[in-house]
Amino acid sequence: MSPAVSQDPAKQAIWEVESTHPDTIEALDSALREVIDPEIGLNILELGLVRNVSIDEQDKAHVMMIMTTPFCPYAPALLEMTKSKTAEALERETDIMMGTELWDLSFMEEGAGADWGIF
């Protein structure tokens, strides 16, 4: 598995790590699916919140993530859990950045909104 496949291809996340370190995708996908947004009840990949994962020349991982709302009360906890799960899955130092892209329902994985009657 790889980044969420959005309903709108223009809003699909592109993870650089998918082309540079494809052997890490399975472990990363499994780890990040454990990070659940407590308010919505879906994991951060189903929601399409992880916009990019990359590994630089110094072998450090970088995660770009957004929230479902700019004032998400769970943002600090979700960011820290995502950073921790990524570092564990990739077995390397990781930093996390909060992106400014505004989330909308079309960022969700196909079928993830079925319980809500969205998709």
pLDDT tens readout for residues 51-99: 999 999 999 999 999 999 988 999 999 999 999 999 999 999 999 999 9
Q: How are strands ordered across the β-sheet holding 94-98?
A: 50-55, 61-65, 94-98
Question: Where are the alpha helices (H) located in 36-99, listed in sequence order?
Answer: 75-90
* Lowest mean pLDDT segment, chosen from 47-51, 95-99, 103-107: 103-107
Per-residue pLDDT, 1? 47
Per-residue pLDDT, 4? 55
Per-residue pLDDT, 8? 60
**pLDDT 10s digits, 12-45:** 788 999 999 999 999 999 999 999 999 989 999 9
What residue spans define the domains of the chain? Answer: 9-107
pTM over 0.85: yes
- Locus of tokens 């072998």: 59
CATH class of 9-107: alpha beta
Between 8 and 101, where is the model more confident? Answer: 101
- Rounded to whole angstroms, how far apart are CA atoms 104 and 36? 17
Between 98 and 110, where is the model more confident? Answer: 98
